[in-house]
Every structure is written in C-alpha cells, then in structure tokens.
Structure 1
Amino acid sequence: MKAQTFLPQDYRPAEDEPFMNDRQLEYFRRKLETWKNELLEQSAETLEGLQDSGRSVPDIADRASEETDRALELRTRDRQRKLVTKIDSAMRRIETGEYGYCEKTGEPISLKRLDARPIATMTLEAQEKHERRERVHRDD
C-alpha cells in the first residue's frame, strides 16, 4: 500500500505542476471517494423511503401519484448505481496510473474537465466526436 500523500485543505490541481502527480491523484481520489459516499448515503435514504411508502393508499389519485414518485425514485437510484460503478472504475484507473488520460487518444484530459466530471474517460474533443458519431448512427 502506498503512503498517503499530504494534501493541503485548499489544494486545487494547477496546470503549472506535473500532470497527474501524487497530489493531483490524491485530490481526485478523495473527490471520487466523497462523491461515492454521498451517492451511497442517498441510495440508503431512497431505499428507506421506498420501504416506508409501501403502504396501501385507498384513493386512486394518491396511489397514482405515489406510484409515479416511486418510479422516479427507482430511476434515480439506478442512475446513482451506474455512477458508483463509473466512480469505482475511475478509482481503479488512479491505481493503475491510467487516470486523467483519454482512453481514445491517450492525451491528458484537462484538469478543469476532470474537476467538473472526475469520472471523465475522454478529452472534451474526443467525447464530442464520440457523441457526434453516436448521434449519426442512432439516426440510421
């Protein structure tokens, strides 16, 4: 196990330091870990809420409203589950030294992009190209 890297509380990755140095990797690892923990907490709250709402509601309008809320909660929970999987994948890339580099081009992903979306796997340009190609094939 690697020794913990010291990270000042106000640390932000900067363009003028070596890309994906130990401090940057630790910064993103902590950011991902915090995000994952928040999602897992929200997921647990969602489960409790779904269990509490399992009672039978006699009024048809109330029942329909509750079913709609329940479906929305389940969709949200599924989205959170997929995000947790992507966070785990990003944390594995940190461990293997692949984090921060585009999976298509191998180029560094901008620090601004990673800070905004720490699970990003492509540079903005590669992502846009990928989405354009997807859109074209979807129209077929």
Structure 2
Amino acid sequence: MAKGLTKKEMQHFKERLLAEKKKVIEEMGGLQQENLKQSIADQAGENSRYSYHLGDTASLAYGREFSMGLAERQQKYMEQIDEALQRVEDGTYGTCLVTGEPIPIERLNEVPVAKYSVKGKEIMEKRKQKGLA
C-alpha cells in the first residue's frame, strides 16, 4: 500500500474516483446524444430550411469542434481516472511516480488523479522543456 495512505483513505479515494468516472460517462453520453441529434438533423435536411450564410455555417462548425474538443478532454480525463484506479488496486496510489514520495492528501483531495507530487510535477515540466519526456 502507498506510504502515507491508510486502507480507509485508499477506499475513500477509490469511491471518489469511481463516482467521478460515472459522472464523466454520463457527460460523455450526453455529448454523444447531442452530436447524434445534430448529425441526424443535418442529414435529414432539417437545418436546410434556413438560408445559411457564412457566419451561420462557421457557428455550426465551431459548435461541433467545441463538442469534439470537450469529448476528447473527457476521454483523456477518463483515462487518467482509470490509471488512478489501477494505482489504487496496485497499492501505489498516493505515491509520486517520479520521486517515490507520498503525494500530500491535500493534493489528492484537489486532484484525485494526481500521479505526481508538486516536486515530481516540476521535475516532469523541466524534462518536457528539455524534450526528455
């Protein structure tokens, strides 16, 4: 088990991560339904009753791109949740993957998918800047 976290704390974070996962799944389902409705409406010509001008078309395109960007961020967050849940199962949740030190519980409360301590995050940022990560 991760240094610094009790079994009770591990269970708390596991439940929190599972609740967050459920929330993201529901949000992603809503986005998919909205995109599907828009796509069906477009294919059925429902939106063609209006005379589109360039601004309208750009607005529709922006809306779709925004939804796609949001869906991509949700997917990435879902992957982070799954990784955190795996660390709970492995007993490594709450331990920085860079320094091996415990991640402060305050940080885990703020960012339950955190895999780095603040110090570890700074090290990773420096590596990225140097092109090593």
- Ranges in structure 1 where 5+ consecutive residues have no aligned partner: 1-17
Task: Select the structure with the greater relative contact order (CA < 8 A; seq sep ≥ 6).
Answer: 2
Equivalent residue letter for 2:7: D
Query: Which blocks of at least 5 consecutive residues in structure 2 are unaligned?
Result: none
Q: What is the deviation of 1:88? A: 0.7
Pair 1:92-2:77 in alignment: no
Letter in 2 for 1:135: Q
Task: Give 1:47's match in structure 2, choosing from 32, 55, 74.
Answer: 32
Q: Distance in 2 between matches of 1:91 and 1:137?
A: 29
Q: Does 1:35 align with 2:20?
A: yes
The one-letter code sitting in structure 2 at the alignment partner of 1:88 is D
Aligned-residue RMSD, C-alpha: 1.6
Residue 92 of structure 2 aligns to a residue in which SS?
coil
Aligned residue in 1 for 2:52: 59
Q: How high is the TM-score relative to the length of structure 1?
A: 0.80
Q: Could you tell me how far apart the structure 1 residues matched to 2:62 and 2:121 are?
A: 34
**Matched residue of 1:137: which SS?**
coil
How far residue 20 of structure 1 moved from its aligned partner, in angstroms, is 1.3
Question: Which 4+ runs in 1 deviate beyond 4 A?
Answer: none
Q: Secondary structure at the match of 2:131?
A: helix
Larger helix fraction of residues: 2
Code of the residue aligned with 2:101 in structure 1: it is E
Given the alignment, which residue of 99, 103, 114 partners 1:120?
Answer: 114
1:82 Cα offset (Å): 1.0
Name 2:6's counterpart in structure 1: 21
